Amino acid sequence: MGNVLLVNSNPVALEVQKTYSLILVQNQNQYGVVGGAVNLPHVLTNTGNTADRYTLGLVQSSTDNFDLSNVKVYADRDKNGLPDNTEDLLVGSIELNAGQSLAVLLVGSISTNVSFNQLSSLDLIY
């Protein structure tokens, strides 16, 4: 058996910093009926390593043919394409833990004065 050698090292400290990150999917195109409603599903996922709070917003394009009216965003936790309740997520904020996702529906109405083949474009932002 050889000699035992003990080596002392400088102490090392490691601190994991909080990382904030969010993914919002999905970009999509849908057809709608004049005077009808459209439901646009999205999924928000907190990809950071800590809980975070998000405030959603909506930006209607100024270069399209019309704006959706009465636009609201609702939780769709069971992902059945229907709002879970009447709480508009554009009012207030959403808290997600690290790795947690929330399915949401952007719901809007198409005016009765919209013509065939017209386009509405909007962005759900956070």
Task: Give tens-digit pLDDT for 77-107.
Answer: 999 989 999 999 999 999 999 999 999 999 9
Instruction: Please report whether residue 3 resides in a domain.
Output: no
Number of domains the chain contains: 1
Give the model's pLDDT for residue 77: 94
Instruction: Please report whether residue 51 resides in a domain.
Output: yes
Task: Give tens-digit pLDDT for 41-58.
Answer: 999 999 999 999 999 999
Instruction: Please report whether residue 111 resides in a domain.
Output: yes
pTM assigned to the model: 0.82
- When pLDDT is averaged across residues 110-126 and rounded to a whole number, the result is 92
Instruction: Please report whether residue 102 resides in a domain.
Output: yes
Instruction: Please report whether residue 11 resides in a domain.
Output: no
User: Residue 33: which CATH number?
Assistant: 2.60.40
> Of 104, 77, 106, nearest to 22 (Cα)?
104
pLDDT at 2 over 70: yes
Q: How far apart are CA 35 and CA 73, in angstroms?
A: 19
3-state secondary structure (DSSP) of residue 84: coil
Give the model's pLDDT for residue 111: 94
